[in-house]
Structure 1
């Protein structure tokens, strides 16, 4: 029997993000996920190595790896639509849960227990807030890059996501922002200096 789990995951490259906005650089779920994984890993390293608190960077990275996996069935719901009404948001959360379960069902029975913590139960993990923060940071950096390239369409998203990051009050996020964020507004030549 053939199982479609990884073929479905490979389709993340077809899911376009920021569907309601004009993009100067298109972004798909696979690209966004890679960046989110790297940032989540780093946030956990910062927690462990800078703030000397227990954290498993590889686990944080795995949580981020599957954070948008349900979108292989649902597509990327734009944030303004997802939060248009509280009822719609609750319904969408149910759809996401069903999509996660459907994705898990595409694995052999023997593998499901090892994947379930990342595909279905990720929000129960104590490192989930770092994975979600990484997701938000990735969106923020997308906005920075668009603004750097002159696309003012992302001005309000940049402002509101920046406020969201500040309100988290996560020392790992603040440290990451202080040490890495500015580089996303630079050109390649500036980064190579």
Structure 2
């Protein structure tokens, strides 16, 4: 195993043991059995190390559609689905490029009908994907039946926010904050269930 792989393996073990681990240069270097200078050579900043670790963790998720992996509990499967979509955003530089392309395609130009239709098509495809996840969980009895539209919108809003945060020069503990947010989002879906039936229209 080369030095870079040893560093990533050590950092992954630290996160597996404690999701709030700070991944300091000194601690990760000691765990990997390398010098801090060697770690800095491969990962010049703590953010670079965390971005690479984030990509590695998400890259090792189950291939295909995680919601179908019934060897895992429903909550873990939904969490893996969110991680898989977020992984498509990439890490810091990739996320900046993706959001830049989104801005140039849908925000910068005038909101003509073709622009609006193109964006709504992408939005609808994302909604279908999340609807599919929740429908599978409803069919299994893990979620109650009903209108889960609000949970679909909620999960998409969380994913959009996290992908945008990846593109911004924010705090260095992106991995920790992102993991906590995804777990909170999944907990919210399982605790709230579908929206209640609409009441009668007001006169």
Fold conserved (TM > 0.5)? no
TM-score w.r.t. length of structure 1 = 0.31
Bigger CA radius of gyration: 2
TM-score w.r.t. length of structure 2 = 0.29
